[in-house]
């Protein structure tokens, strides 16, 4: 193994040097609590607000509509539970899809135990919800629609603007989990009629442990964590100043470089998919071929066990995934792949490869050559 080749950017990304440089003073020298009224606290408050402005600029929002959290999962919880609890007198019905991230699905399941009704929309073979079916499922008691912008496993990009229009026409709040989409798609919350949007810093070269939630002005939601009055009394807890600064810097950089960055990812993705389909038999691309994230590839290899494939790749110094990092402890086939109707024999042999800034064509060639050899070896043992 001469070096590690990392192809799991959908799971996490490394912190960029420019981001780390901006964060470093706030781990030690600039240690003031931003809620304090003295000078070193006020100085850090100013940096937090600069980061808030950067996030708002990136998605077409106002700074006062941005709330900092600990991660994407917390943002999802705050959005869904916050709206559900605050609007319970208006109704108790929530609509989501069967391929959402566990942070959304498990939040909805928890709310069902509290008396809320949840409709889980079916998706087609490429992972798209039906807009017609969505509109049919709306009731007088529907208070929230939560559909992810792009799927974390198969990369399919949902028709977010159309969903937002349907929600707005029915006076229903619309939340979207954009954890995978930030940096890989241009998002304008006003134009797309998004009321709430979740993001997580470590998906776009900021550190782990910091996220953000956009909530459109005048959306009725309440905090779900008791404590102090931070984040305009919506998210209690001392602010993670270095993380927030890192998130703000990273989102600014990723959108400054958006065109070149995403062109690079798409070129690598398309080359990888094309070569795999040419060189390895009995494979299936999962998700839509066109309307997918630029750096995402999810391919099923028939007659292969995904965990065995990952272990073989790891011995070659290759990092990839069988699906969501949040379900890596489960031996069950992916709920996303089963929802799109993939037979279990294909679902168990799925490999998600997600490209990032440091990947080169030479790295991808190494990956393709390794896969061709390893899969031939694994199949010969069956």
State the average pLDDT over residues 158-179: 98
- What pLDDT does 39 receive? 92
- What pLDDT does 74 receive? 98
Strand partners, 145: 95, 174
Nearest to 94 by CA among 78, 116, 122: 116
- 72 Rama sector, left if φ>0, alpha if ψ -120 to 50, beta otherwise: alpha
326 is catalytic: yes
Does position 331 have pLDDT exceeding 80, yes or no? no
- What pLDDT does 381 receive? 83
Does position 227 have pLDDT exceeding 80, yes or no? yes
Determine the Cα–Cα distance for residues 252 and 53; give it in Å rounded to an integer.
10
For 97-153, write each residue's pLDDT tens digit: 999 999 999 999 999 999 999 999 999 999 999 999 999 999 999 999 999 999 999
Is residue 216 within 8 A of residue 196, CB to CB? The reply is: yes
- What pLDDT does 49 receive? 97
- What pLDDT does 361 receive? 97
Residue 343: HSE in the Cβ half-sphere, 13 Å Cα cutoff? 8
Under the banding of pLDDT at 50, 70 and 90, the label for residue 178 is: very high
Percent of the chain at pLDDT exceeding 90: 94
Domain ranges for the chain, please list them.
Answer: 5-13+258-380, 17-256
Angle at 243 between CA 240 and CA 247, to 5 degrees: 130
Domain 5-13+258-380: give its CATH code: 3.90.1150.10
Q: Which residues contact 340 (CB under 8 A, 6 or more apart)?
A: 99, 123, 124, 125, 126, 127, 154, 286, 287
Determine the Cα–Cα distance for residues 46 and 289; give it in Å rounded to an integer.
44
Under the banding of pLDDT at 50, 70 and 90, the label for residue 333 is: confident
Determine the Cα–Cα distance for residues 359 and 123; give it in Å rounded to an integer.
32
State the average pLDDT over residues 233-253: 97
State the average pLDDT over residues 28-39: 92
The CATH architecture of the domain made up of 17-256 is: 3-Layer(aba) Sandwich (3.40)
Q: Which residues contact 301 (CB under 8 A, 6 or more apart)?
A: 280, 282, 283, 309, 349, 350, 351, 375
Residue 363: HSE in the Cβ half-sphere, 13 Å Cα cutoff? 20
């Amino acid at each position: 193994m001469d070096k590690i080749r990392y192809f799991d950017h959908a799971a996490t990304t490394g912190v960029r040097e420019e981001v780390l440089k901006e964060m470093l003073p706030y781990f030690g020298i600039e240690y003031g609590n931003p809620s304090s009224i003295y000078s070193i606290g006020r100085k850090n408050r100013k940096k937090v607000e600069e980061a808030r402005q950067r996030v708002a600029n990136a998605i077409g929002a106002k700074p006062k509509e941005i709330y900092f959290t600990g991660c994407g999962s917390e943002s999802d919880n705050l959005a869904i539970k916050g709206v559900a609890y605050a609007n319970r007198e208006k109704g108790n019905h929530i609509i989501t899809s069967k391929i959402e991230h566990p942070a959304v699905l498990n939040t909805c399941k928890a709310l069902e135990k509290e008396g809320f009704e949840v409709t889980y929309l079916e998706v087609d073979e490429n992972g798209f919800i039906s807009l017609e079916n969505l509109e049919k499922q709306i009731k007088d008691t529907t208070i929230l629609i939560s559909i992810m912008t792009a799927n974390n496993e198969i990369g399919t990009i949902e028709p977010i603007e159309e969903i937002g229009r349907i929600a707005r026409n029915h006076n229903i709040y619309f939340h979207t989990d954009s954890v995978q989409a930030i940096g890989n798609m241009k998002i304008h919350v006003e134009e797309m009629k998004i009321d709430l949007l979740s993001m997580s810093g470590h998906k776009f070269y900021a550190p782990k442990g910091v996220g953000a939630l956009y909530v459109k002005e005048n959306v009725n939601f309440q905090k779900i964590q008791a404590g102090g009055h931070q984040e305009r009394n919506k998210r209690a807890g001392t602010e993670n100043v270095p993380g927030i600064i890192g998130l703000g810097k990273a989102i600014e950089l990723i959108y400054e470089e958006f065109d070149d960055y995403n062109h690079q990812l798409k070129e690598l993705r398309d080359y990888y998919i094309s070569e795999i389909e040419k060189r390895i038999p009995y494979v299936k691309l999962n998700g839509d071929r066109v309307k997918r994230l630029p750096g995402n590839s999810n391919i099923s290899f028939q007659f292969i066990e995904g965990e065995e494939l990952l272990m073989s790749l790891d011995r070659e110094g290759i990092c990839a995934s069988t699906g969501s990092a949040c379900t890596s402890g489960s031996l069950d086939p992916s709920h996303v792949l089963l929802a799109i109707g993939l037979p279990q024999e294909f679902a168990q042999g799925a490999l998600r490869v997600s490209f990032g800034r440091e990947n080169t064509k030479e790295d991808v060639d190494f990956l393709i050559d390794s896969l061709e050899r390893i899969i031939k070896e694994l199949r010969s043992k069956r």
